[in-house]
Amino acid sequence: MNSKQLKKFARECGADIVGVADTEMLDGIQTEPQDLLKGYRRAVSIGVRLADGVIDPIIDDPTPLYQQHYLKVNALLDDIALRISQYLQASGAKALPIPASQLLDKTEWTSYLSHKAVAIAAGIGWQGKSLLVVNPDFGPRVRLVTVLTDHLDLEPDKPLRNRCGKCSFCTDACPAQAIKNVNTKSHYRDRNEALHFERCVTRVTQNPERLSFIESPICGVCIRACPWGRRKGLRKATKVIRDT
């Protein structure tokens, strides 16, 4: 099995984007447990596109539709990751699917590993000013999952150039004023370099208290705001890049 075959299978399972990262590029990222990556030389990043009809109505708060869509897409991602793991194992490789959305530390807001870090290393997209992964086709309108494997025949993809430039759409839209509008060439040293992280956490954790139809700590405002995710906004995004 090679990368092309794996990506074809992943898309047949429902994935919209697939990339492969060499786990050496993830050296130093926080994982749980600390040796999670030991024995795994490749990380497969899988993305599912969020529906524009769900994201577009989000203005200042998440909507009931987004709440359900968020849960369903996470479930789909976990199903795709399981099927990819079985596909890899059938070829003789070892595979470990990492849940799409399982919070392990409610204080630090961390899980087994950062799906975003894997996606950036796998060329799915670049790290935007909101810390979200921005894909050139779908913007940040994607959810992610990861499968670790020792299958060395999978050729790693190359990371993408950051294209946020001078754009401040997510910064201006954030209801918590949490995004600092700081750019990066590859990735931030830590999340506080890009965000007033506690402001973001406070906002998303208060949403289930403020809005009776919200169960999960979600927001979605910066996802909607990004011009890379909006078809009509792509011209604006392109202009921002030219002006950078």
Q: What tens digit of pLDDT does each residue of 49-103 get? A: 999 999 999 999 999 999 999 999 999 999 999 999 999 999 999 999 999 999 9
**Cα separations (Å) of 22 from 45, 81, 121, 212?**
11, 18, 8, 43
Identity of the residue numbered 177: Q
What percentage of the chain reaches a pLDDT higher than 70? 94
The total number of structural domains in the chain stands at 1
The neighbour count for residue 170, using CB atoms within 10 Å, is: 25
Bridge-based pairing of strands 133-134 and 42-49 is unpaired
pLDDT band at 244 (very low <50, low <70, confident <90, very high): very low
**Which has the higher per-residue pLDDT, 244 or 41?**
41
Domain hosting residue 90, numbered range:
1-244
- Contacts by 92-97, CB closer than 8 A, 24 or more apart: 93/1, 93/149, 93/150, 93/151, 94/39, 94/40, 94/149, 94/150, 94/151, 95/147, 95/148, 95/149, 95/151, 96/40, 96/147, 96/148, 96/149, 97/145, 97/146, 97/147
> Helix 64-90 crosses helix 3-12 at what angle (to 10 degrees)?
140
The neighbour count for residue 17, using CB atoms within 10 Å, is: 23
> How high is the pLDDT of residue 232?
57
Q: List, for residues 151-196, the tens digit of each pLDDT value.
A: 989 999 999 999 999 999 999 999 999 999 999 988 898 999 999 9
> How high is the pLDDT of residue 235?
46
Could you tell me the pTM of the whole model? 0.93
- Residue 24 three-state SS: helix
> How high is the pLDDT of residue 185?
87
Task: Flag whether pLDDT at 241 surpasses 70.
Answer: no
The mean of the pLDDT values for the chain is 93
Determine the average pLDDT of the residues in 102-116: 94
The neighbour count for residue 16, using CB atoms within 10 Å, is: 17
Task: Flag whether pLDDT at 135 surpasses 70.
Answer: yes
Radius of gyration of the chain (CA): 17
> How high is the pLDDT of residue 106?
87
